Amino acid sequence: MDSKSLFKKAQTLMPGGVNSPLRACKYVQAEPVFIANAKGAYIWDVDGRQYIDYVHSWGPQILGHQDPAVSKAAHAAIDLGSSYGAPCYGEVALAEEIQRLIPSMEMMRMVSSGTEATMSALRLARGYTGRNKFVKFIGNYHGHADSFLAAAGSAVAATPGTPGVPEEVVKHTLLAHYNDLDAVKAHFAESGSEIACIIVEPAAGNMGLVLPNDGFLQGLRDLCTEHGAVLIFDEVITGFRLSPGGAQQRFNITPDLTTLGKIIGGGFPVGCYGGKREIMEHMAPVGGVFQAGTLSGNPVAMAAGLATLKRLQDCDYAALEARTKKLAEELTAIMTEKGQAVSLNHIASAFTMYFSDVPVTNMIESGNCNADAYATYWQQMLAQGIYLAPAGFECTFTSFVHTDEDFEKTLEAARKVTF
């Protein structure tokens, strides 16, 4: 079946025809292509068209699709059984490797998605401190657990960000704009002894890429230390992408808890949260905070994750960063030449070229971008075999398998876009 027929049928079976809303391509005023297979830097749709992939499953596939070592490890694990619901070797091996790369994760717990990781880290921070309130940044995404789905209401209290979330649940969620340290200080001045934690994307990747201003993360660290609150870095995107040790290594700030996902699963469903032993020992069965999972520590996912982290040790992060910077800057120059107002944020192997005439440092600026211009750009790039994220407020990810030729083809396509 072709993409068009599949989408038609899918819409009768799933809301919007998709299992995650952005995939429906509404933001780019288009219909999704259905993917048949993927290898290296490329994906093929069911109509046989090939694309250079800059989504890479929204981040996990930093080694490209079907990395031989990762595939081999996953196949070998499947041959030993796909799930036991009992302790296995792979969990220990992956945990040991994560701890080596991210030393602040003295203890950890595997789960099956980033959503579970952040939800559990919040519960732990609350259980550990005996406090209910927490600070979250507008435009940061921490998965879809109720407490995080809060919209900016009055100055202090949040309102539900979606139908289905009770007001009582988000009344403990304190919001601030990203990079606005003064707003966080105000929350602590007002209710410091009631705040369990701050959760933050140490480089934000869900309102496009937004980098922390100098002193922002350190300011959060200091506030948490001063008030006995837990600092949670949500590194579901930044872990193993910003550096082998994630954003905390790159920015040299140590959180109390870290959440991981995406890359650590090597393309399989995995999340993980961990941090200070003293805090983690509040988890059952050692402590009283409950969290569990039928498929947690799944042996196939553990094997793929471990193989991914091992492979990443041979990868040249600095070289990919330099090549990504060049690609992003050349794309930006091409759009500028066409008379488009664009603004670029880049770090490591991630960038967002915003259709915006101001630099983007928070959600207000990200939200003001020209969605129509992005839709035009996206549609014409797709038609030329370049697969970009189907929304302007997402990251473009490069991987270790993208070649210079892939980048040149991408620039060639961008030159042909007309607005």
Q: Does 197 bind ligand PLP (CB under 6 A)?
A: no
User: Both tokens of residue 226?
Assistant: 């001063």
State which of residues 205, 212, 266, 275 lies at the interface with ligand PLP (CB under 6 A). Answer: 205
Residue 233 or 355 having the CB closest to ligand PLP: 233
Q: Does 114 bind ligand PLP (CB under 6 A)?
A: yes
- Binding residues for ligand PLP, total number by CB under 6 A: 15
State which of residues 237, 279, 289, 304 lies at the interface with ligand PLP (CB under 6 A). Answer: 237
Residue 118 or 361 having the CB closest to ligand PLP: 118
The binding track of 364-403 with respect to ligand PLP, each residue x by CB under 6 A or -, is ----------------------------------------
Q: Least distance (Å) from ligand PLP to the CB of residue 75?
A: 23
Q: Kindly identify the residues of this chain, within the stretch 249-288, that bind ligand PLP according to CB under 6 A.
A: 261, 271
The binding track of 336-365 with respect to ligand PLP, each residue x by CB under 6 A or -, is ------------------------------
Residue 234 or 365 having the CB closest to ligand PLP: 234
Residue 237 or 382 having the CB closest to ligand PLP: 237
Residue facing ligand PLP at closest CB distance: 114
Answer yes or no: 406 catalytic: no
Residue 138 or 413 having the CB closest to ligand PLP: 138
Distance from C-alpha of 231 to C-alpha of 236, rounded to nearest angstrom: 15
Answer yes or no: 141 catalytic: yes
Three-state secondary structure readout of the chain: CCHHHHHHHHHHHCHHHCCCHHHHCHHHCCCCCCEEEEEECEEEECCCCEEEECCHHHCCCCCCECCHHHHHHHHHHHCCCCCCCCCCHHHHHHHHHHHHHCCCCCEEEEECCHHHHHHHHHHHHHHHHCCCEEEEEECCCCCCCHHHCEEECCCCEEEECCCCCCHHHHCCEEEEECCCHHHHHHHHHHHHHHEEEEEECCCECCCCCECCCCCHHHHHHHHHHHHCCEEEEECCCCECCCECCHHHHHHCCCCCEEEECHHHHCCCCCEEEEECHHHHCCECCCCCECCCCCCCCCHHHHHHHHHHHHHHCCCCHHHHHHHHHHHHHHHHHHHHHCCCCCEEEEECCEEEEECCCCCCCCHHHHHCCCHHHHHHHHHHHHHCCEECCCCCCCCEECCCCCCHHHHHHHHHHHHCCCC
Of the residues 27, 42, 128, 141, only one is catalytic, namely 141
State which of residues 45, 91, 194, 201 lies at the interface with ligand PLP (CB under 6 A). Answer: 201
Residue 114 or 335 having the CB closest to ligand PLP: 114
Q: Does 141 bind ligand PLP (CB under 6 A)?
A: yes
Cβ atoms 182, 175 nearer than 8 A: no
Answer yes or no: 146 catalytic: no
State which of residues 118, 120, 147, 248 lies at the interface with ligand PLP (CB under 6 A). Answer: 118
Of the residues 234, 317, 377, 406, only one is catalytic, namely 234
Q: Does 60 bind ligand PLP (CB under 6 A)?
A: no
Residue 60 or 160 having the CB closest to ligand PLP: 60
Which of the stretches 108-116, 242-250, 379-387, 403-411 binds ligand PLP when contact is defined by CB under 6 A? 108-116
Nearest to 141 by CA among 92, 204, 76: 204
* Residue ranges binding ligand PLP (CB under 6 A): 113-115, 118, 141-143, 201, 205-206, 234, 236-237, 261, 271
Catalytic residues: 141, 234, 262
